[in-house]
Amino acid sequence: MSDSNSTVRWTLNGTEVENEAGMTIMEAAKVHGVDIPQFCYHPGLSIAGNCRICMVESNRSPKPVISCSERIAEGLEIKTQSEVAVDARNSVMEFQLINHPLDCPVCDKAGECVLQDHSYEHGPDRSRFVEDKNIRHTKELGPTIDIWGNRCIVCTRCVRFCDEISGTGELCVVERGDRSVVDVFPGVPIDNSLAGNTVDICPVGALISSDFKYEARVWNMDKTSSVCGGCSRGCNVEVETLDGFVKRLTPRENLDVNDWWMCDHGRYGWRHLYADSRLESAQHDGQAVSPTGTSGALHQLLSSSSSTAFLVDPYMTCEELHLVRSIANSLGGSTIAGWLPAAGTEETFPGGFKISADKHPNRKGAEHVLGSDLFTASADQLKSALSNGSIDTLVAFVGGDGFEGAGGEWNDLISKAGKRIVFATQQGSWCDGADLVVPATAPLEKEGVWVNEDDRAQRTRSCRSLTSNHFPSELVVLQELQVHMDLRNRPLSAAGIFRELSETSDAFSGHSHSGLGDSGSPLSQRPAAMSSEGGHS
Amino acid sequence: MTVTETLAFSDEAMKKYEWLLSRYPTRKAALLPTLRIAESEFGELGVPQMKYVADLMEIPPATVFGVVTFYTHYRRAGVGKYHLQVCSTLSCALRGSGDVVSRVTERLGIGVGETSECGLFTLSKVECLGSCDTAPVIQCNDDYHEGLSLEDVDALIEQLRQEAGKGGA
Amino acid sequence: MSFRKIFTPYIHEDKCHSLKFYQSKGGYEQARKALNDWQPDDLIETVKAANLRGRGGAGFPTGVKWGFVPKQVDKPKYLAVNADESEPGTFKDRLIMEKNPHLLLEGIIICCKAVGIHHAYIYIRGEFVFGANRLQNAIDRAYSEGILGENCLGSDFKLDVTVHRGAGAYICGEETGMLTSIEGDRGQPKLKPPFPAVEGLFGCPTVVNNVETLANLPYILEIGAEEYRKIGPENSPGPKLFCVSGHVEKPGVFELPMGVSLRTLIDEHAGGVWKGRKLKAVIPGGSSAHVLTADECDVAMDIESLAAAGTMLGSAGVIVMDETTCMVDALLNIMRFYHHESCGQCTPCREGTGWLEKIAHRIAVGGGRIEDLDLVTEVCDRMVGKTICALADAAAFPAESIVKKFREDFVAAIENGGSPAWVKRHPANTGGAAAHV
């Protein structure tokens, strides 16, 4: 009747609607604001059709049909609230719960559990099941993942993930019937760079992250939509904190960047925020400087400098880099160069996910703000200048996780400057003997824009961890310095600085924080084009 | 795992395996019959044997594990030399399979799911063997023993014991 | 025309399974004609005209099924022969494979010629080791005699046949579960659509036919569709293998025209209820069928008549229960089977089969409550029609019908502290267990 390019007219709960041909009932219904419940369905995985919770009534079938796999068709009439549909959902819920331990009070999934949510909406308020419940294994499946088998509803999302997305195939369902449960081959644990995603997509509390286990009730945590700084992929993440402490990172859906996934390096790579060596207060000549005095001390050092160089890092936001550029320009005769951390290994996966070898989130952005030779020719020039001793004052930014400083060669060169100001996240040789040490924000603590390897600008946001609340961010310190230098009347927000940047830089022209929204935008895609597409969801 | 390293198909088994691969358009399709080869080559499908098959066929060991545990007729690790599988589904039950199980239990001193101390016998209750007209039935390893009276059960056990004795087991 | 047996006329002869014997009785003549003289479409039309209906359980018209396979495709097409025979009470295909394997192979050749298939897989249940060996020997002979292979029976038609052994899973008798199992996976049924005829084995168009169904084909070609349709009722004609087991004097496989009376089958062919006892209950089509009471057994054994009687012909596995049978124990036995065999994929089946077994068990051992009888029915209602395959239905049908039709057995077990067999074995516990719940 209708070819794949056309639309299909069908009836949803008595109302005639239109959708693109080829959509499933579930997808199409969602467009019209009808959310059909799901356990086994996941948009990033193949369709299993096993949980049966998405059954709806169809005029084309004597039995209810599953809306995750059945496709819309001309003349199809679907009811999601009819007696047949409601009974089908209620049936599935009752069956799901009979052997489920109902141990929500001690389950880490509680509060974000699909089973809990659906039970509330579609489940019975009491059980007719008076038999003994089945017992299945509770054990470690890998270094970061445990399974509570009794909670498993055998939806196979995790198994499909390891087969289709990571391509590592460590998980399987063993046994059959109501004895079946997810397992690994004895001696072959689940241990791949994407393993943590299986916990996220588990619709119940069967797969549990051993890192997050018993750490927090999910409803007590504050969430910040941010971007992972682990590599130049820029995975969109949610940072969850409890009382100012980061508890976990989870991926945020972005089909242009990371789909629904993130890697374990990024997921578990936030402990540096609370490292013993973390810098939390500024120091001038070995004396602590108050947070409000930092910019003054900085100004004092810079105003007596005969030649100043800035060494920036690729974790700095475009806003921070813009401020550095403006300060350097006003000082006159100063130079700017950047350092890069050592390259890692690129990892690609059958599902299309990629971990970049470049372990820096904003190299592209830095090059847009400060020039394409920032990390190459400019860096070489600064190296020789430092070796010659021709730099009077060096302002070095040593961010990231900060444990390696700016890398072996730079760490030695830094100390050859006459005077040295170091913004650092961690204590280390790069701080030793510095004239002024300023605590720096780490990735996840920054407020601003990063540009990933695909030239996509995305907003990273500060999770306001306990540590970063102890000192003003570079964004603030650098602006206060500008106030001291009479370059600015008062500090602005990151959005305000970004506006200044967009007004002075072709690359960022037309973009704004609000325009970038939660999911970012390719720099080449100007807002005019964006608005014609209706902006961001 | 040193056991895995020492496991290997015989030349004949390997030839059979290669032939199997030629019968299917995908390698994985040969998994069920290859597990049968492994079963007869190694005597059972325990962890090292499953790992061997997984490595041989270049499929994840978890996949093999899932498959082996899905089916009930593979010889899993720890089963005795003679696996007495008593059909317990309706037609056999109607004609006395319960008494057959009791008789085996009495004679061998093992319960369902147990293996005799001598390692010769394992007793299992299994579902319909498709031999309902000759109920009750025991499948011992590959062979059906049909239309069993309790005396036939005794005789079967005796015969298997003698067979084992002759084999020098 | 008097009824002529086609599957079992020679099964008592010594070498009945050999190629030589088969050929001495005119074997492979129809396949030869099909390969050399028939056009594929004519073969399909003839099978449609004969109204051959699948003998595996669902009774779908075979020719129509073949017609669903696309004629022009870039992919290979496959035949998957369902020889899993795992429905409790069924043992007919085993007889064909062990005693008359070449009849099956001849049927396979005819089907493959009709649909344009060049590779057939015979999925035989893992327990049938003897049958698998016999089948393999027959295939080896057929290859060496040029019946199978590059030029089947001297034609330019190529056909390979591969025996694929199962490994112990009832669900692999379900057509898509079987395909998954051939593909080397856990034998879990696949979502439909797509249907196997379009996207089946290895993603290619696939015909799935039962052993007995295929074994009909040479005979249909031999006598023609019109004559074939005269055997038994027009809507489900043909010779048929009926399996009778349980409490009868002479259990066995009986080849009779479709539509024979169930009572005649039991009383005359199977020698009647054993030990002079009275009939209590009959499952007419494998344990998945609704149970019939003794009073309901005057019914013709064909697809329509049994459907009208509220049950089904299914695999024609007749299980007879005499007056001493406690239907609580029977229910428990059947529910244990389905609980054991549920693949575990769909929620209603995975959880429902286990629940039903637990309820049946509790009633049998003296923990039953009268409300459990309604609960069984309600659990069944919640299982039926809500899963990928029909296993949930197969468990629910006997459960709801046994509880409904033999309610007095259940009430007695609830009141007496368990089924008679349990009470006999545990006299001291009687009452205690009942009081417990």
What is the token pair recorded at C161?
């046949």
Residue of A169, A175, A176 lying closest to B62 (CB–CB):
A169
B113 reaches A (C-beta below 8 A): no
Distance from CA of A280 to the nearest CA of C (A): 53
Chosen CATH of C19-228 out of 3.90.1150.10, 3.40.50.12780, 3.90.1640.30, 3.40.50.11540: 3.40.50.11540
- Mean model confidence pLDDT for chain A: 94
The residue type at B92: C
Chain A partners within 8 Å of B66 (Cβ): 172-174, 183
Judged against a pLDDT cut of 60, whether residue A535 lies above it is answered with no
B169 lies in some domain: no
C84: nearest CA partner in chain B: B130
Task: Say what the pTM is.
Answer: 0.95
How far off is chain C from A118, nearest CA to CA, in Å?
Answer: 14
What residues of chain B have any CB closer than 8 angstroms to a CB in chain C?
Answer: 23-26, 28-33, 35-36, 63, 66-67, 70-74, 88-91, 93-95, 126-135, 139, 142-144
Domain spanning C239-322: which CATH class is it, in words? alpha beta
B46 pLDDT higher than 60: yes
Give which of A137, A160, A181, A185 to mutate to test B binding, by max B Cβ within 10 Å.
A185
Domain C327-436, classified CATH 3.30.1340.30, yes or no: no
Q: Which two tokens stand for residue B121?
A: 């016998």
The answer for B 23-52 residues in CB contact with A (under 8 A) is 47, 50-51
Percent of chain B beyond pLDDT 70? 95
Residues of chain B contacting residue A173, judged by C-beta atoms under 8 Å apart: 66
Same domain? B28 vs B49: yes
Q: Are A189 and A141 in contact (CB under 8 A)?
A: yes
In terms of phi and psi (left: phi > 0; alpha: psi -120 to 50; beta: otherwise), the region of B2 is alpha
Å between A464 CA and nearest CA of chain C:
43
- Model pLDDT for residues A164-177, shown as the tens digit of each residue: 999 999 999 999 99
A537 pLDDT above the threshold of 50: no
| Domain, as residue range, for B127 | 82-164
Topology match between the domains C239-322 and C327-436? no
Q: Is C437 in CB contact (< 8 Å) with chain A?
A: yes
- Chains that contact B by 3+ CB pairs under 8 Å? A, C
Contact criterion met (CB < 8 Å) for A96 and C350: no
Q: How far is C316 from chain A (nearest CA, A)?
A: 26
Query: Which domains can be identified in chain A, with CATH numbers?
Result: 7-96 (3.10.20.740), 277-522 (3.40.50.740)
CB B54 within 8 A of CB B10: no
Say if B114 falls within a structural domain. yes
Please give the C-alpha separations between residue B34 and each of A10, B11, B39, C172, C375, in angstroms, as whole numbers.
49, 14, 8, 18, 45
Residue A412's H or E segment, with its range, is helix A408-414
Q: Would you call A174 and B65 a contact, using CB atoms and an 8 Å cutoff?
A: yes
- Kindly indicate whether the ipTM for this predicted assembly is greater than 0.85, answering yes or no: yes
Which chains are within 8 Å of C by 3+ CB pairs? A, B
- CB-based contact A95 C382, cutoff 8 Å: yes
Q: B50 vs A185: CB contact, 8 Å cut-off?
A: yes
pLDDT 10s digits, B51-97: 999 999 999 999 999 999 999 999 999 999 999 999 999 999 999 99
> Final residue of a domain: which of B70, B95, B120?
B70
Q: Are C166 and C84 in contact (CB under 8 A)?
A: yes
pLDDT band at residue B167 under the 50/70/90 scheme: low
How do the domains of chain C map onto residue ranges?
19-228, 239-322, 327-436
Chain C residues with beta carbon closer than 8 angstroms to that of B72: 167-169
- Among residues B70, B96, B129, which one ends one of the domains? B70
- The share of chain A scoring above pLDDT 90, in percent, equals 91
Please check whether residue A91 is in contact with residue C386, taking contact to mean a CB–CB distance below 8 angstroms.
yes
Interface of C with A in 326-355 (CB under 8 A): 339-348, 350-355
Q: How far apart are CA A46 and CA A49, in angstroms?
A: 9
Q: Do B95 and C181 touch (CB under 8 A)?
A: no
pLDDT at A158 over 50: yes
- Does the pLDDT of residue B45 top 90, yes or no? yes
Q: Which of C248, C319, C333 to mutate to test the interface with B (most CBs of B within 10 A)?
A: C333
SS3 per-residue string spanning chain C: CCCCCCCCCCCCCCCCCCHHHHHHCCCCHHHHHHHHCCCHHHHHHHHHHHCCECCCCCCCEHHHHHHCCCCCCCCCCEEEEEECCCCCCCCHHHHHHHHCHHHHHHHHHHHHHHHCCCEEEEEECCCCHHHHHHHHHHHHHHHHCCCCECCHHHCCCCEEEEEEECCCCHHHHCHHHHHHHHCCCCCCCCCCCCCCCCCCHHHCCEEEEEHHHHHCHHHHHHHHHHHHHCCCCCCCCCEEEEEEEECECCCEEEEEECCCEHHHHHHHHCCCEHHHCCEEEEECCCCCCCCEEHHHCCCECCHHHHHHCCCCCCCCEEEEEECCCCHHHHHHHHHHHHHHHCCCCCHHHHHHHHHHHHHHHHHHCCCCCCHHHHHHHHHHHHHCCCCCCCHHHHHHHHHHHHHHHCHHHHHHHHHHCCCHHHHHHCHHHCCHHHHHC
Per-residue pLDDT of chain C (437 residues; tens, 9 = 90+): 589 999 999 999 999 999 999 999 999 999 999 999 999 999 999 999 999 999 999 999 999 999 999 998 999 999 999 999 999 999 999 999 999 999 999 999 999 999 999 999 999 999 999 999 999 999 999 999 999 999 999 999 999 999 999 999 999 999 999 999 999 999 999 999 999 999 999 999 999 999 999 999 999 999 999 999 999 999 999 999 999 999 999 999 999 999 999 999 999 999 999 999 999 999 999 999 999 999 999 999 999 999 999 999 999 999 999 999 999 999 999 999 999 999 999 999 999 999 999 999 999 999 999 999 999 999 999 999 999 999 999 999 999 999 999 999 999 999 999 999 999 998 765 544 444 43
Q: Do B32 and C252 touch (CB under 8 A)?
A: no
> How many helices and strands, by DSSP H and E, does chain A display?
15, 25
What was the pLDDT predicted at A527? 76
Q: How far is CA C40 from the centre of its chain?
A: 27
Are residues B94 and B54 located together in one domain of the fold?
A: no
Q: Which of B61, B69, B70 sits opposite A188 (nearest CB)?
A: B61
What's the pLDDT band for A2 if we cut at 50, 70, 90? very low
Torsion angle, CA of C356/C360/C365/C367, rounded to 10 degrees? 70
Residue B75 placed within a domain: no
Residues B105 and B52 in one domain: no
| Pairwise CB contact (< 8 Å): B26 & C168 | no
B54–A185 C-beta distance less than 8 A: yes
Contact (CB<8Å) A183/B51: no
Answer with the one of B36, B70, B104 that is the final residue of a domain: B70
- Chain C (74-93) residues lying within 8 Å, Cβ to Cβ, of chain B: 76, 85-91
Which residues on C lie below 8 Å from B134 (Cβ)?
Answer: 251
Q: Is residue A159 a contact partner of residue A174, using CB atoms and an 8 Å limit?
A: no
How far, CA to CA in Å, does A32 sit from each of A20, A76, A200, A426, B31? 12, 15, 27, 51, 45
- Determine, for residues B62 and A170 on separate chains, whether the beta-carbon distance falls below 8 Å: yes
* Domains of chain B: total: 2
In a domain, B123, yes or no: yes
H/E element holding A65? strand A65-66
pLDDT of A533 reads 42
- Residue B151 located in a structural domain: yes
Which of the four pLDDT bands, split at 50, 70 and 90, describes residue A466?
A: confident
pLDDT value at residue A5: 65
Distance from CA of C135 to the nearest CA of A (A): 29
Helices (H), A111-206: 114-122, 157-160, 196-201
User: Is the distance from CB of A478 to CB of A320 less than 8 angstroms?
Assistant: yes
A61 → chain C, closest CA residue: C385
Average pLDDT, chain B: 94
Mean pLDDT of A40-51: 97
CATH number at residue B24: 1.10.10
